[in-house]
Chain A
Amino acid sequence: MSHLEGAVLCREAQVSALQALFGERHHFSFPSIFIYGHTASGKTYVTQTLLKTLELPHVFVNCVECFTLRLLLEQILNKLSRLNSSEAECPTEVTCETFNDFVRLFKQVTNTENLKDQTVYIVLDKAEYLRDMEANLLPGFLRLQELTDRNVTVIFLSEIIWEKFRPNTGCFEPFVLYFPDYSIGNLQKILSHDHPPEYSADFYAAYINILLGVFYTVCRDLKELRHLAVLNFPKYCEPVVKGEAGERDTRKLWRNIEPHLKKAMQTVYLREISSSQWEKLQKDDTDPGQLKGLSAYTHVELPYYSKFILIAAYLASYNPARTDRRFFLKHHGKIKKTNFLKKHEKTSNHLLGPKPFPLDRLLAILYSIVDSRVAPTANIFSQITSLVTLQLLTIVGHDDQLDGPKYKCTVSLDFIRAIARTVNFDIIKYLYDFL
């Protein structure tokens, strides 16, 4: 038990609740337990450590990996039979297609001496994926104890609340257990727990304190914080290694690390710069500002007509079709903005997002914004399609609708302005919203 306390920090209440639920080995436990909580709140870790230290027979399955029913069921059965058999003999792989088979096979597997008299635990991690599988799966697992008539408990781990799971046909209600987020104190305690061997625990705890001061507002993910802590620790130690400051010289150390951490928040935390690049920068002691992040490369080089097609698509997406006359006809006369449009068109189109437009409208606008004559060659049409594959345009409706396909333009205003600038086209003049 003491080992458990050392391994699991700040989750005493949950651990004791679970232990109470599990009871003695041969006791029948609650048929299904639903554990939920935010990312990195220790659900998986606590369950796994608990089951391992108590040496309870259990099967741990991650539902992301088992994207089909069959994979999921077979994995459970195979792991169970491996539990059963001694190490030397390799059990044959079972095949199991339906839940019905699963119940039957489950009975067979758990009928052995090993598992007969104790509760078997099936843990389904990332249980939210179960909702996308067959409809009978979740209710089935919830009452697995009843269906198989065996001493079994199914534990679901999920980041989503139980209410989002409940099928509308009704089902057996599991025992719901909530893992609350770690508080800042908890995080401090857990993160300081595993300090590097060459430094004292206090020194590392002080570092963690500074780290949390910077990152706690944006990130409470324990894994991520731990990752960041390791990445930036060498920088924190630098003055100590160089002999410029002692381990207790917290102020000096703080002044050294704080701007560095802030920079890390803008770059490596967002994965603008990869962690290996960050480490390299730290080692070479260069300014991280020099390395451009991923988002800095927004420029896309496009063929000349593709640029115009994109501009035309943008105009078609954000201008009401009725205003096309005004923008693209020479003698359009004056149209006042206020009384010309219906009421709903008066709100900014940029707030409403892009609207679908037919291909013909796109081509008509294209012909009027390009200075030279554009022949409707096969290349122009294939360019439209390649813009769709580049995700700069999207096709509305089904792909195989051949007559009158509709598109939407998905690029941002900044992007299209940059494109328009390269071809000397003043797009703002043609946008109804900016009139």
Chain B
Amino acid sequence: MATSSVSKGCFVFKPDFKKRKISVPIEDYFKNEKLESEDSKLRFETYHLLWQRMKSETEQLQEELNKNLFDSLIDFLQKSHSDFQKNSGNWGCQMKLREIPTAALILGVNVTDHDLIFRSLTETLQNNVTPYIVSLQAKDCPDVKHFLQKLTSQLMDCCVDGKSKEVKSVKTPKKTNYSMDSLSSWYMTVAQATGPKMTIKKRTTSSQWQFPPVVIILKNMESFSTKVLQDFIIISSQHRHEFPLILIFGIATSPVIIHRLLPHAVSSLLCIELFQSLSCKEHLAVILDQLLLTAQFPFKISKKALQVLTNIFLYHDFSIQNFIKGLKLSLLEHFYLQPLSVLCCDLPEAKKRIKFLSVNQCENIRRLPSFRRYVEKQASGKQVALLTYDTVLKEETQLLLEDLHVYHMNYFLVLRCLHNFTSCLPKYPLGRQIRELYCTCLENNVWDSEEYASALQLLRMLAKDELMSILQKCFEVLHSSTTKQLGSTTQKVKDFLTQFQNLDADSKEEEDACGSQSKGLQKTDLYHLQKSLLEMKELRRTTKKQTKFEMLRENVVNFMDNLVRSYLLPPESQPLHEVVYFSAAHTLREHLNAAPRIALHTALNNPYYYLKNEALKSEEGCIPNIAPDICIAYKLHLECSRLINLVDWSEAFATVVTAAEKDANSTISEEMNEIIHARFIRAVSELELLGFIKPTKQKTDHVARLTWGGC
């Protein structure tokens, strides 16, 4: 993966290994010349294993998230179709318009994710409702003819797929001649031929229809042209009886688009029901929760890298797929760049691997800044041992890794507890989402921040029932974990809860106690009374007349504060955190959020940046005459206004190019002149090709500049 290429800024290394058909084994790509590590193969395998685990986890998550939506969709399809099949003899059904059942599926603006949803939807429907499922895209259907053509061919494909060869022999309409007529007659014959067979073969409950419905999925309905949709709906509504059609509209924006695309005459042919998928922000929250905010996977992401990923998601595309790809890229980069990432695996395996670490790798560990900090804190005897004996080092590393593991276990539990506390506060001082809190905690000591202080202040004002529900949630979080480390904490939270519950009973007694105390004051003289009253007043001010509840609340908040201070240390403070944390945010940004304009400008303005030729090194503002011609022309054009005079430009170009020779030889030969002229013309046409200038008719011998800024 060495990039000797010029395009440093925008090269995406697709980690799609399987598709490359090269004889070199994939692991070899993992050899990083700079690092000279012999563990590249092992690292690659670890990466692969880990990614498989993460991938299957995400897929499972997405399946669960979509389940609700799919279930209601299937319900709708089955119901509307069985209605259609059942009561055709009824008076009402005879009179009613034959509406085409239509599901409007609102999926959100992240169009790139839709494919996945549609794919799994198709699969689910195939298993549960009907084998006839067609999904169409706007770009395939510029007119009704193509629409029907695509529909027919896909429909026949999905029939041939599962069924026997006999079906194939059922007469198919001629290639050129696709019409709804032929389609519906084809459907009748096929459904009759395969219908009964299918019911036996295919599954359980509701698919015992003689004529299973034909489901057409229109992906991204916004981009379909109105005419095609209208015509198709009118045509198919006329064939409703012999061709049981169900439409699914994939909508990215809002269902109002249906009314915008279809006039009333057409929309009155549809029986539209709305289905809404999970919002992509919630989706992201779930993915983050299950992939990163857990000790299940050893791999972690630093604050900056996480921010790059979430920012791309929130600011740019809302695409879960892209987010997961970004995660994959960071995983890959981590294993590629960090030689010690061999240890980024489950704890028992990591311990085993430590034993076989080479001398080089031991040296790598010693070089880690976090490890060095750790060593400096040790006693001098141990320092020497750690730095000289590999065996000592290995033992110590094992211990440290174990500590790191425990640290993570506790970290996420406490983080969740803290989130429970802060997420109900007004104005959300520490963020509404747990990812925001996580980012703050990753960066530095969270308790030093102003937001944390204000959050604590707000917590001290919470009402009892709120506090109790929070504690209950915390208890559930802590209780759900299997580890024993925070056992005492769990117990403590439980104690707090019981104390709160007992508070009601206690409060009565407390009042009584107050009353008896005041009685005790009665038999004294005036002076003493005054004095004691003053004392009491003072006392009340200092204790602020704390009730039992307030004391308990204070205790809870302090307890939480202590938890945070002892467990939510930033990962940088942990020795060996480099092993599991990926922190190269800038590579991530370069790969995922490329800036072509900036890269182009840098390449032309400062060729040294990419070419790494020492001669090209120049100060700001001056143009070296040995730079590529296009760079010189580009730099000169930056100084011009909207229209550029070609003659002036060419003269300036010639001056720059001949700048060095001028000292030696003031006259330039005719031939040289011509060459320079040709070079200029080539540079200008290259600039035109890149889209920086264009010819104009406003003024003769001028070109128009298409960029702004610079001068």
Footprint of B on A, CB under 8 Å? 39, 62, 64-68, 70-71, 74-75, 194, 196-197, 223-224, 226-227, 229-231, 233, 270-271, 274-277, 294-295, 297-306, 360, 364, 375-380, 382-383, 386, 389-392, 402-404
The minimal Cβ–Cβ distance linking A111 to chain B, given in whole angstroms, is 25
Taking CB atoms, residues of chain B closer than 8 Å to A380 are 316
A223 to B268, CA, bound (A): 10
Footprint of A on B, CB under 8 Å? 10, 79-80, 83, 91-92, 95-97, 99, 101-102, 104, 106, 108-109, 111, 143-145, 176-177, 179-181, 220, 222-223, 231, 234-235, 238, 252-259, 264-265, 267-268, 270-274, 276, 279-281, 312-318, 593-598, 691, 694, 706, 708
Q: Give the residue of B111, B145, B254, B594 whose beta carbon is less than 8 angstroms from that of A378.
A: B594
Cβ-defined contact, B95 with A194, below 8 A: yes
Cβ-defined contact, A301 with B177, below 8 A: no
Could you give 9 example pairs across A and B, Cβ below 8 Å?
A: A64-B231, A274-B270, A275-B96, A294-B274, A297-B254, A297-B274, A298-B256, A390-B111, A391-B257
Taking CB atoms, residues of chain A closer than 8 Å to B267 are 271
Question: Contacts A65-B235, A196-B91, A391-B253: A276 and B83 contacting too (C-beta < 8 A)?
Answer: yes
CB-based nearest B residue for A381 = B596
Taking CB atoms, residues of chain B closer than 8 Å to A391 are 222-223, 253, 257
Cβ-defined contact, A297 with B255, below 8 A: yes
Question: Contacts A223-B97, A304-B314, A403-B691: A386 and B145 contacting too (C-beta < 8 A)?
Answer: no
The minimal Cβ–Cβ distance linking B2 to chain A, given in whole angstroms, is 24
Q: Give the residue of A65, A295, A383, A389 whose beta carbon is less than 8 angstroms from that of B223.
A: A389
Question: Contacts A227-B97, A275-B271, A306-B109: A294 and B258 contacting too (C-beta < 8 A)?
Answer: yes
Q: Give the residue of A223, A276, A305, A360 whose beta carbon is less than 8 angstroms from that of B80.
A: A276
**Given A71-B179, A300-B253: 15 more A-B contacts, CB < 8 Å:** A68-B145, A75-B181, A226-B96, A233-B92, A275-B97, A275-B99, A276-B83, A294-B255, A294-B259, A301-B281, A303-B317, A306-B109, A386-B109, A386-B317, A390-B109
Taking CB atoms, residues of chain B closer than 8 Å to A71 are 177, 179
Taking CB atoms, residues of chain A closer than 8 Å to B104 are 294
Q: Give the residue of B10, B80, B109, B694 whose beta carbon is less than 8 angstroms from that of A302.
A: B109
Interface centre among A39, A66, A276 (most CB of B within 10 A): A276
Q: Give the residue of A227, A274, A298, A375 whose beta carbon is less than 8 angstroms from that of B254.
A: A298
A245 to B259, CA, bound (A): 40
The minimal Cβ–Cβ distance linking B147 to chain A, given in whole angstroms, is 9
The minimal Cβ–Cβ distance linking B112 to chain A, given in whole angstroms, is 9
Question: Contacts A230-B92, A276-B273: A301 and B318 contacting too (C-beta < 8 A)?
Answer: yes
A380 to B83, CA, bound (A): 48
Taking CB atoms, residues of chain B closer than 8 Å to A305 are 315-316
The minimal Cβ–Cβ distance linking A167 to chain B, given in whole angstroms, is 22
Cβ-defined contact, A303 with B316, below 8 A: yes
Taking CB atoms, residues of chain A closer than 8 Å to B597 are 376
Taking CB atoms, residues of chain A closer than 8 Å to B256 are 294-295, 297-298
Cβ-defined contact, B312 with A379, below 8 A: yes
Cβ-defined contact, B318 with A64, below 8 A: no
Interface centre among B95, B102, B106, B313 (most CB of A within 10 A): B95
Cβ-defined contact, B109 with A300, below 8 A: yes
The minimal Cβ–Cβ distance linking A368 to chain B, given in whole angstroms, is 13
A168 to B256, CA, bound (A): 40
Q: Give the residue of B80, B96, B181 whose beta carbon is less than 8 angstroms from that of A65.
A: B181
Cβ-defined contact, B595 with A377, below 8 A: yes
CB-based nearest B residue for A360 = B708
Cβ-defined contact, A295 with B595, below 8 A: no
Taking CB atoms, residues of chain B closer than 8 Å to A270 are 264
Cβ-defined contact, A67 with B317, below 8 A: no
Cβ-defined contact, B254 with A299, below 8 A: yes
A349 to B180, CA, bound (A): 46
Question: Contacts A224-B268, A276-B80, A300-B109: A402 and B181 contacting too (C-beta < 8 A)?
Answer: no
Cβ-defined contact, A65 with B593, below 8 A: no
Cβ-defined contact, B312 with A276, below 8 A: no
Instruction: Identify the 4 closest CB pairs spanning chains A and B, nearest first.
Output: A379-B316, A294-B255, A227-B97, A274-B271
Cβ-defined contact, B255 with A64, below 8 A: no
Question: Contacts A275-B99, A299-B254, A303-B316: A389 and B177 contacting too (C-beta < 8 A)?
Answer: no
Cβ-defined contact, A376 with B314, below 8 A: no
A229 to B271, CA, bound (A): 16
The minimal Cβ–Cβ distance linking A58 to chain B, given in whole angstroms, is 17
Taking CB atoms, residues of chain A closer than 8 Å to B179 are 65-66, 71, 75
Taking CB atoms, residues of chain B closer than 8 Å to A65 are 179-181, 235, 238
A67 to B146, CA, bound (A): 11
Taking CB atoms, residues of chain B closer than 8 Å to A360 are 708
Taking CB atoms, residues of chain A closer than 8 Å to B258 are 294
Cβ-defined contact, B238 with A62, below 8 A: yes
A64 to B229, CA, bound (A): 12
A109 to B315, CA, bound (A): 67
Cβ-defined contact, A67 with B231, below 8 A: yes
Cβ-defined contact, B97 with A271, below 8 A: no
A67 to B264, CA, bound (A): 22
Question: Contacts A196-B92, A376-B595: A304 and B254 contacting too (C-beta < 8 A)?
Answer: no
CB-based nearest B residue for A294 = B255
Cβ-defined contact, A297 with B106, below 8 A: yes
Taking CB atoms, residues of chain B closer than 8 Å to A378 are 10, 593-596
Taking CB atoms, residues of chain B closer than 8 Å to A383 are 316-317
CB-based nearest B residue for A389 = B223
The minimal Cβ–Cβ distance linking A117 to chain B, given in whole angstroms, is 30
A196 to B89, CA, bound (A): 12
Cβ-defined contact, B265 with A39, below 8 A: yes
Cβ-defined contact, A304 with B315, below 8 A: yes
The minimal Cβ–Cβ distance linking B692 to chain A, given in whole angstroms, is 10
A404 to B318, CA, bound (A): 27
A196 to B91, CA, bound (A): 6
Taking CB atoms, residues of chain A closer than 8 Å to B102 are 274
The minimal Cβ–Cβ distance linking A37 to chain B, given in whole angstroms, is 15
Q: Give the residue of B95, B220, B259, B271 whose beta carbon is less than 8 angstroms from that of A276.
A: B271
The minimal Cβ–Cβ distance linking A208 to chain B, given in whole angstroms, is 12
Question: Contacts A224-B268, A389-B223: A67 and B144 contacting too (C-beta < 8 A)?
Answer: yes
The minimal Cβ–Cβ distance linking B603 to chain A, given in whole angstroms, is 15
The minimal Cβ–Cβ distance linking A252 to chain B, given in whole angstroms, is 23
CB-based nearest A residue for B596 = A378
The minimal Cβ–Cβ distance linking A87 to chain B, given in whole angstroms, is 16
Cβ-defined contact, B238 with A301, below 8 A: no
Taking CB atoms, residues of chain B closer than 8 Å to A62 are 238
Taking CB atoms, residues of chain B closer than 8 Å to A304 are 314-315
Taking CB atoms, residues of chain A closer than 8 Å to B145 are 67-68
Q: Give the residue of A67, A224, A375 whose beta carbon is less than 8 angstroms from that of B143.
A: A67
A271 to B272, CA, bound (A): 7
Interface centre among B97, B145, B234, B279 (most CB of A within 10 A): B97
CB-based nearest A residue for B92 = A230
Cβ-defined contact, B177 with A74, below 8 A: yes
Q: Give the residue of B96, B276, B593 whose beta carbon is less than 8 angstroms from that of A231.
A: B96
The minimal Cβ–Cβ distance linking A202 to chain B, given in whole angstroms, is 17
A271 to B267, CA, bound (A): 7
Question: Contacts A227-B96, A230-B96, A231-B96: A301 and B279 contacting too (C-beta < 8 A)?
Answer: yes
Taking CB atoms, residues of chain A closer than 8 Å to B281 are 301
A144 to B234, CA, bound (A): 28
Cβ-defined contact, B91 with A271, below 8 A: no
Cβ-defined contact, B706 with A229, below 8 A: no
Q: Give the residue of A66, A68, A271, A376 whose beta carbon is less than 8 angstroms from that of B270.
A: A271
Interface centre among A70, A304, A378 (most CB of B within 10 A): A378
A383 to B110, CA, bound (A): 10
The minimal Cβ–Cβ distance linking B100 to chain A, given in whole angstroms, is 11
Taking CB atoms, residues of chain A closer than 8 Å to B318 are 301-303
Taking CB atoms, residues of chain A closer than 8 Å to B176 are 70
CB-based nearest B residue for A392 = B253
A115 to B97, CA, bound (A): 36
Taking CB atoms, residues of chain B closer than 8 Å to A233 are 92
Question: Contacts A64-B234, A271-B268, A402-B691: A301 and B259 contacting too (C-beta < 8 A)?
Answer: no
